[in-house]
Amino acid sequence: RKEVEQDPGPFNVPEGATVAFNCTYSNSASQSFFWYRQDCRKEPKLLMSVYSSGNEDGRFTAQLNRASQYISLLIRDSKLSDSATYLCVVNQAGTALIFGKGTTLSVSS
Amino acid sequence: EPEVTQTPSHQVTQMGQEVILRCVPISNHLYFYWYRQILGQKVEFLVSFYNNEISEKSEIFDDQFSVERPDGSNFTLKIRSTKLEDSAMYFCASSGVRGAYNEQFFGPGTRLTVL
């Protein structure tokens, strides 16, 4: 069973659209949760941490459902610059980050 | 803004050769990590390092791999005898704290090509 699963996409949306990504994780002992963004052949960059109460950062909203072991990311008013791969990431008991394979977003004008 | 740096950006080597990948973590960070990403695949954890010793490692991090912090700023990953399947992007990361919400910041990576 994969540890972190994401729909690979690609999601192709027009500018201004709202798009949602989902992620599930298998280890119920996971302690912290993140969304990273990765541009082609670049390093992962932290987009936001995901808190139990849900959190928002501008156009980005993240939700966590521990009972369902489910994490989501909502992007409102998509921009061309949002085109990237979005990585769902969990931290279990130790120091290692466990990455999903990522969901690719392409925003077009 | 402080950032993690890595050198070289691209390393080409022959199978069986030793390579050393170098990283300079963010200066006030205490925890250091190596990850790798084979082309088209997910980012995979290799090892974490704190207080001059390995704190956690994955099954990928076998006896061919070693890490070192030779001075106050550098953090290195050595692969003793490279194999073709070691070809990947290697990312160094650092964080200031451990435990929940240890937000890790990644360097730009070293692309290793083993021929």
Cα–Cα nearest to A96, from B52, B54, B47, B81: B47
As given in the structure block, the two tokens for residue B49 are: 């390092």
- B88-103 pLDDT, tens digit per residue, is 999 999 998 665 567 8
Length of chain B: 115
SS3 for B86? helix
B74 touches chain A (CB under 8 A): no
CA-closest candidate to residue B61, choices B35, B84, B40, B39: B35
Q: What is the mean pLDDT of chain A?
A: 93
Contact residues on chain B for A41, CB-CB shorter than 8 A: 89
Q: Which two tokens stand for residue A71?
A: 């994490």
Cβ pair B43:A94 closer than 8 A: no
Q: What is the pLDDT of residues B3-25, one digit of tens each?
A: 999 999 999 999 999 999 999 99
A95 and B100 in contact by Cβ < 8 A? no
CB contact under 8 A, A46 and B105: yes
Residue B58: per-residue pLDDT: 94
Of the two residues B72 and A46, the one the predictor is more confident about is A46
